[in-house]
Structure 1
């Protein structure tokens, strides 16, 4: 029953012999303080991030460690926030020192995707859209049409060190695995100075918001996409920081949900394909470096050390025509190259060329075809101006992106022609040189190698004229430089033009284009950029596509307006509570379409917790309510019947239950874990009209107050200075963290068999006595616990099971 004012309602007392309400299933003392923790939405897994930058995954059973992801020099060491993808297969975490967001695969602790941020991220929320419509259903059914027209992208070879693990699986549906389910899900990121961005499927940025003031402390996007609730901390020079609640109207996303889903799905495909092409080109560069090290450097050294005025090309031609060589050339061939070395070098260059050729055909061309397909579909969407123009799709910009991809395909095809010609010339050159060196050594020449046709001689002459002719434009610090290898110039990440551009004399198509008045400058033809490298054309393509990807984010971001700004309370500067766990917290009720904010005001009333309710639709009038829950009466304390209860942390367990950590009177008082049923509070329709010019703590005397009966839904946390809690109502679990951020206990919250519960509780208490002793002396005891946990899990702890079995287990548990 609700009442107003500061009068504390009566709370039913609890029996003294009450059995613990929740069953403890795990406990551990961690070597490093924990900064973030989050339960998986689908499995009994909890992710922890500690102060060393290490990401840990633990299973509920005995709190066994499944895997750990150490900090990387390529990412960072300061993890500031965690969020699970709604399907539980990918974990996102932000890094404050490098300003990056990382997507990590849960099955094998692999970094799948990394993207930079403008500001450090302080909080994140990953939600899934639950709205259904006929347009969305038809899109879901037609999503796999691309598989009918496009070949599966082959996995990149694992032999290259820089290949990312995104596409290294044996399966060929890597992009779909990274995208997850077709239903739209959005990763919301918040940071300092009102920095808020929305990423569809955790990869494609669909909105950059402006107008939010302060540092984001918590945020939640409604499942119907109608609004975004943000908790910010606003600082001023005069007063203490103020905690504010802001509701942003994201109606454009909700009104255009089918269009947003289509656009986001396509652009996420495009973003992933760009990364696929980048990794393919990286593999090609590594394959080319083998040729450069083994061929170019040896012959260049010979040229630089040569004392005669005769050109290298002339010396090789003399050897080709007359079978005679200068002493210098003979010394190079017999001492530096040797017969065995030449044979090995020939096989190595042929193998490297073949690898590059396969990468171009299988990866660059396949990826370019897929890019053209998806961009063409996006162009078709942009032409439907009534649907997609409000989202910022520009058909002219997309047409430019299609043209850039076409130019990249032409350049890749040009590289194939250069590789094909170089392979023929190299094979003929090495075969001839191998025979010549055998004759110098007066060794037997195999009959099959002794015959050279006129075509073979022409190949060798072409090789010598193209690769060993001096280029006056190229000078090295040590002397003249000779371009022995033509393929590498296409793979150099430089802005300079090609040293040896392709010879297009005699090309009938180019001649026809130059003579044609109508086709010479036609927009239907892709420009070829004959003077530029493959890297240059790729960067140009990436920049053009990036502009197409960014424009909708700007347009959608500008459409988001502030619907409500409510200052809640001030916090003292001396507060040492870690920001990532501090109240308030947000909850998105998918059934009732409401946002709930839970917060406490310890300076005003430490024994109360406040619940703010706000409808997710800013354009629909739903009574706003602010209620306070008072637990000032004791929890059956024999020492002090008037012990004051203070709220330390609170998290929504489900739509009608709140999990809280409570503290009795005094600094050394006992801590409690409790469940607060909110059915009566949430059903209250009393509208609270707050003064917009005053903070909520200045109006606390007018906030309705309600008392709740806990029943047996509480448990004393013995020998633990509990401070924080993380819960998962679907899995019916909770994890309590101590104030020093190193002591963790895990509980199963809904226990039906009380006999089993009592036995397990006694065992847990007995184990706890021995564990507490080990906790006082950190080191060997913890290492032994960790070793035992890792030995039990056998290296994988069940995550390496077949996917079908995992899904069956999840379905059984959820049912």
Structure 2
């Protein structure tokens, strides 16, 4: 630690729910917490609550937290196997990853560049798709209306927050499925199904406790737990994998991940658009279909003319039959017809707007990006080696092309339906007014030959399908006619809704007379070409969406399997064996892994017993590709001098001959943070900054690539007397459970053993502030703290100043939003901006 460094307590706060996990942001003065209720809570350094999100389902707990290296996205892993990526600005779920089992560990690292070099996309250019593609328009919340609604999201182009990502970063997640999963930028899977190898010593893999990839992308290290049959023994081992395919193709992997992330964003937008189309569609026309069927059945029984003939005679001669006149006046009515026409026009206009402004734009954008990927896949040495398969991507391109053609088809169907419905209902409205001895408006009473043709086409297309030739008139019912789609019995005035159902079209458009279709049938060379997209004439829009999703998933998931299978196991070392005990506490053996770029090694720090532990083992693996070199040293915690002042003002030395390790965390490449407890009745905690340079290289012992470290003779070093006075601090009046530190923000938070109280420290305070520190450590809250904390430990009747009052909060999508009455919380919610470092460090709330 640098000279003059000290620890300063800046706050002590209560929490209403027991805390389980804590993790500082790497870039901002923010700390993420998870509690026993499965909630994720974000706090400022001043302990002002930013937001809270509920678990994705009941009885689901948070098992791991990880920050994206830029600090703008927080990943939370759950017992149900989900990983949600939250935007820190508004707690919105940017991405949900589904793993086949409980998430057991997570880490998020960014690739390190060689010293002195700066990031550059060379030899490739950055994606310039935005230059050629139209910008996506925000979708509105107000489904089924023509009014301008509040947009669901303004930045639909960058829904997953990837546009500002430069260097490659990887999210590693272990799951209960006994596999390691890797995601580039936390979005695109690049290492699914990485099995930790064959069983070791006839044991079965139980859990992955920790996983870390070196920042040069050469090595992955995993600490795993093995179970031997029905025995009470738990074996812990460490496995190292060679991942040089990632390091040799990181530029190509970056391009592929960002491109696939953009496609995933567009796919989500596409699905939301179709959802809004379904909500905008109204089934009011089914009521008219039912009335027409009933009318047709009555005419059939009387043996008179058909419905189609009645309407045609009315159109040509202007005189309705008695049955048709009664039907128009008593069944449809003037008011019913006006409401029907208005609903149809509103519904169809909204669907048409969604198709033209959103659906066609986004589907063409997906087609553009997939075509890019298809071109990249043909360069095998760069992209094909990562698993990009040209034929699979071409299948996805073909599926999207057919979908684009279907969007044009539904647009034409809507356009024709609107014109025909307007002409038909306008004509019927005038007829009903005249039959009611009312004078129709002058602008409606005139019909041109063009209008008559529209009505005639409408009658031909919608009424000519009705027939009872295949049914016994004594047994037929109206419900049978409406359900019998195979024989096309009944009236089908509405032809748009069939495109929004997961079934074949009942009335597909006729394309046999289309000149282009006739040309294709006569040209055999065009049947198997990739240039022309097949027309799926009988498929609905939703069916083609399912085909599209499956084809894209098949094409884009293949690189993940190829990359995962390329990992080669270099070594497997047994760490230690632990015997299960009745009443085991939640303080399990601790594991911490991190990379040192200076030493080109990956550190694994762990304890061989339940916490608190007497010994800490430090392993360092070489991160040079293919290397199996590993060194280890044991660290003991003996006597540490504590400076205190007695009542007479004389400085005295209090000494404890032995300490145990309660928790360990990564501070920076040169420093470990330790939480020790004195081995006495008080068990007072001690916060320690251990510089790795204190342990000389000569103390490390080389361990074999295969074998047991537990039985290996390691050198042990007592770091108690090697600690400088400014590198540790005794924490008065508390019993500690765990802690979390951040080297980039130089902060620490210590959790009390009750898990409902925390102390916050600055790790870089100047020595002249020590007097203030001594006052803070008495355990008494200052006047400012009392104003900020109105509840005692375990009392949930109040809430800290600036926190959300749960009794006055609105619940929506799992996010607790502050009411207008909570001015401080509301201001925090509206003005939240973490794109610059926080300015409130060291201030009490």
Following superposition of structure 1 onto structure 2, how do residues 610-759 of structure 1 map, counting pairs within 5 Å? Answer: 610-620=617-627, 624-636=630-642, 641-666=655-680, 668-681=682-695, 684=697, 686-690=699-703, 694-699=707-712, 702-703=715-716, 706-707=719-720, 708-752=722-766, 754-755=768-769, 758=772
Rounded to whole Å, the distance in 2 between the matches of 1:166 and 1:394 is 42
Q: How far does residue 732 in structure 1 lie from its aligned partner after superposition?
A: 0.9
Rounded to whole Å, the distance in 2 between the matches of 1:532 and 1:300 is 25
Rounded to whole Å, the distance in 1 between the matches of 2:124 and 2:748 is 38
Rounded to whole Å, the distance in 1 between the matches of 2:290 and 2:805 is 59
Following superposition of structure 1 onto structure 2, how do residues 334-733 of structure 1 map, counting pairs within 5 Å? Answer: 334=329, 337-470=332-465, 478-481=479-482, 482-494=491-503, 497-574=504-581, 576-578=584-586, 582-602=589-609, 606-620=613-627, 624-636=630-642, 641-666=655-680, 668-681=682-695, 684=697, 686-690=699-703, 694-699=707-712, 702-703=715-716, 706-707=719-720, 708-733=722-747
What CA deviation, in whole Å up to 9, does each residue of 1:647-675 have, x standing for no partner? 01010111222222211224652222222
Rounded to whole Å, the distance in 1 between the matches of 2:173 and 2:723 is 37
Q: How far does residue 607 in structure 1 lie from its aligned partner after superposition?
A: 2.9
Q: How far does residue 328 in structure 1 lie from its aligned partner after superposition?
A: 6.5
TM-score normalised by L of structure 1? 0.87
Q: How far does residue 287 in structure 1 lie from its aligned partner after superposition?
A: 1.2
1:403 aligned counterpart, secondary structure:
helix
Q: How far does residue 20 in structure 1 lie from its aligned partner after superposition?
A: 12
What CA deviation, in whole Å up to 9, does each residue of 1:107-148 have, x standing for no partner? 111112223222221111111112369997245973241122
1:452 aligned counterpart, secondary structure:
coil
Change (3 A) 1:757 1:319: farther
Q: 1:202 aligns with which of 161, 167, 186?
A: 186
Pair 1:807 & 2:835 matched = yes
Q: How far does residue 226 in structure 1 lie from its aligned partner after superposition?
A: 0.7
Instruction: Tell me the residue number matched to 2:107.
Output: 125
Instruction: Tell me the residue number matched to 1:261.
Output: 254
2:702 aligned counterpart, secondary structure:
coil
Change (3 A) 1:520 1:554: closer
What CA deviation, in whole Å up to 9, does each residue of 1:575-632 have, x standing for no partner? 74447x851111122333321111123479933322111122242475x321222222
2:136 aligned counterpart, secondary structure:
coil
RMSD: 3.5
Change (3 A) 1:117 1:606: closer
Q: Which moved more, 1:321-330 or 1:33-42?
A: 321-330
1:780 aligned counterpart, secondary structure:
coil
Rounded to whole Å, the distance in 1 between the matches of 2:601 and 2:416 is 67
Pair 1:221 & 2:235 matched = no
Alpha carbons 2:211, 2:593 under 8 Å: kept: yes
2:352 aligned counterpart, secondary structure:
helix
Instruction: Tell me the residue number matched to 1:181.
Output: 165
Rounded to whole Å, the distance in 1 between the matches of 2:704 and 2:262 is 48
Instruction: Tell me the residue number matched to 1:115.
Output: 97
What CA deviation, in whole Å up to 9, does each residue of 1:317-373 have, x standing for no partner? 444344455677556655565434432332222222122222222222222222222
Rounded to whole Å, the distance in 2 between the matches of 1:697 and 1:604 is 17
Instruction: Tell me the residue number matched to 2:140.
Output: 157
Alpha carbons 2:21, 2:65 under 8 Å: kept: yes
Q: How far does residue 643 in structure 1 lie from its aligned partner after superposition?
A: 4.3
Pair 1:79 & 2:62 matched = yes
Alpha carbons 2:14, 2:793 under 8 Å: kept: no
Change (3 A) 1:781 1:603: closer
Q: How far does residue 733 in structure 1 lie from its aligned partner after superposition?
A: 0.9
What CA deviation, in whole Å up to 9, does each residue of 1:689-725 have, x standing for no partner? 3356653233355455555314133333334321111
Q: 2:270 aligns with which of 268, 272, 277?
A: 277
Change (3 A) 1:141 1:551: closer
> Any stretches of 5+ residues in structure 1 without a counterpart?
1-18
TM-score normalised by L of structure 2? 0.84
1:730 aligned counterpart, secondary structure:
coil
Pair 1:65 & 2:55 matched = no
1:505 aligned counterpart, secondary structure:
coil
Which is helix-richer, 1 or 2? 1
Pair 1:92 & 2:75 matched = yes
2:381 aligned counterpart, secondary structure:
helix
